[in-house]
Amino acid sequence: MFKLVKIEGSRINVPEPEYLTVGTAAVVCGEGLILSSGKLVNCGTAKPTYIALSGADAGAKVAVGRVTPDWVLDVELNAAPTSLVPGAKVALVGGLKVAGAASDTGVATIISTLGATLAGDVVRVRFS
């Protein structure tokens, strides 16, 4: 799951919430989301448009933050990191984690590996 660390250039690190309707599957806090037919769904491997600020059941309204390039986020790795360095692009895994290896088709940019060495360790990313 994605955890907002800071919004660069902002005096407060709290995104302006939007309230949108969840699609057919419940969402969890920190999940990367996109709109599909006007409803929020897991972004899968696509760049998320929103991050859930709370959890919600299918069909309910949920508070989300709109992802912008100035957001700095922490997220878990789905596998042990291999050759990850700041500036590397990584793919999303199920809208909740990032891959442990760099990818030309990645949508998240590594800002810091935070010393990650194992699957489940946290790295710092942004979406640009």
Give residue-wise pLDDT tens across range 59-101. Answer: 999 999 999 999 999 999 999 999 899 999 999 999 999 999 9
Residues 55, 49 contacting (CB under 8 angstroms): no
Query: Using the 8-state DSSP alphabet, how is residue 119 labeled?
Result: T
Collapse the DSSP code of 17 into the 3-class scheme (helix H, G, I; strand E, B; otherwise coil) and give the result: coil
pLDDT number for residue 10? 83
Q: pLDDT per residue over 110-126, tens digit each?
A: 999 999 999 999 999 99
pTM to 2 decimal places:
0.93
HSE-up of residue 30 (Cα within 13 Å, Cβ side): 12
* Residue positions counted in the chain: 128
The confidence score (pLDDT) of residue 90 equals 97
Closest listed residue to residue 126, CA positions, set 38, 11, 5: 5
pLDDT in tens, 28-68: 999 999 999 999 999 999 999 999 999 999 999 999 999 99
Q: HSE, CB side, 13 Å, CA atoms: give it for residue 55.
A: 6
